Amino acid sequence: MKLPTMRVLDYQKIGSSLNDMASNLSPEERVARGSYPENLLQAVDNLFEQEKNYPEDSYETIFECNTMFPLQRKREMDRMMEIARSISPQVIFDIGSDKGGPAYAFCRALKPKRMICCEVRGTPYDTRFVQHFPSTDFLFIEDSSYAISTRVQVHNWLGNDRIDVLFMDGDKGAFNKDWTTYKPMMSSKGIVLIHDVSEPGNPRGTFLELRGQYSHTETIIDTSESTEAMRREAEGIPQKNMYEWWLRHWKGSYATVGVIYLDSKKK
């Protein structure tokens, strides 16, 4: 169904007024507004500086960074990137961008032409990303992924382009809403990556439902890093960094990624 033009314009206004509010604040004020660690912007700058010593497509530095480490297991992320790379994605959408860790990994590993980062607590690192990845066209949205204004903003920004990779890691009670909102904007060869599918809840429920509708799916589960971290803990070896603390704390639960290949819809 086509939305009446007036309503679309209203939604655009709502979306842009939210972004205007944020753009009146300094990046530091936006860090505080999103309850991010105080040193987030410094961490982003350090990360960009450090990467010079690493291969061009590597993102392991985020796991070594005590501020920006992603809430994901690295080996699972490696597989996720490998899967995403298989379709040479031009447009990637990261829902629940948090401190920017996975967005950084996507940009480094896959060099998308266009990238959307959506985070309800804000993306105070946005101008830094724009400067650092000049060949990627970014859309940063500081609002809920399934708000109508966000949907309209994404739709308008995409124009004739389609989302090739959708990474869902935002509102853990509403992955089904993210799916129904963005499925119509995805390319036919698209890949949906659903984080946290191992524990009961909406992410798992959404994945199981989609698994029934598509014949090509995958569940990425690799808890080997957690096992290794717990073994080091049992041996009394101090944790190397915050990522290792996180691995020890969660003891192999959470993380995991459900993968749906959209070109495999069952008839």
Ligand X SMILES: C[S@@+](CC[C@H](N)C(=O)[O-])C[C@H]1O[C@@H](n2cnc3c(N)ncnc32)[C@H](O)[C@@H]1O
Contact residues toward ligand X (CB under 6 A) are 70-72, 95-96, 98, 101-102, 118-121, 144-145, 169-171
Nearer to ligand X, 121 or 155 (CB): 121
Cα(266)–Cα(33) distance, rounded to whole angstroms?
45
Nearer to ligand X, 167 or 261 (CB): 167
Nearest residue to 114 via CA among 140, 91, 84, 139: 91
Q: Residue 151 CB, nearest distance to ligand X (Å)?
A: 12
Q: What is the number of helices (H) and of strands (E) in the chain?
A: 12, 7
Q: Residue 35 CB, nearest distance to ligand X (Å)?
A: 9
Whose tokens are 């994945």? That residue is: 207
Cα(153)–Cα(141) distance, rounded to whole angstroms?
9
Q: Residue 68 CB, nearest distance to ligand X (Å)?
A: 8
Q: Residue 149 CB, nearest distance to ligand X (Å)?
A: 12
Q: Mention every residue, 6+ apart, whose C-beta is less than 8 A from residue 248.
A: 226, 229, 230, 233, 239
Nearer to ligand X, 1 or 61 (CB): 61
Q: Residue 224 CB, nearest distance to ligand X (Å)?
A: 18
Nearer to ligand X, 214 or 254 (CB): 254
Cα(162)–Cα(77) distance, rounded to whole angstroms?
23
Would you state the structure tokens that stand for residue 74, as one six-digit string? 């690295």
Nearer to ligand X, 61 or 145 (CB): 145
Q: How many CA atoms lie within 13 A of 30 on its CB side?
A: 23
Would you state the structure tokens that stand for residue 226, as one six-digit string? 């957690």
Buried b or exposed e, range 124-149, using 16+ CB within 10 angstroms: bbbebbeebbeebebbbbbbbbbbbb
Q: Which residue has its beta carbon closest to ligand X? A: 96
Q: Residue 171 CB, nearest distance to ligand X (Å)?
A: 3
Nearer to ligand X, 182 or 261 (CB): 182
Nearer to ligand X, 89 or 102 (CB): 102
Q: Residue 255 CB, nearest distance to ligand X (Å)?
A: 9
Nearest residue to 85 via CA among 10, 164, 197: 164
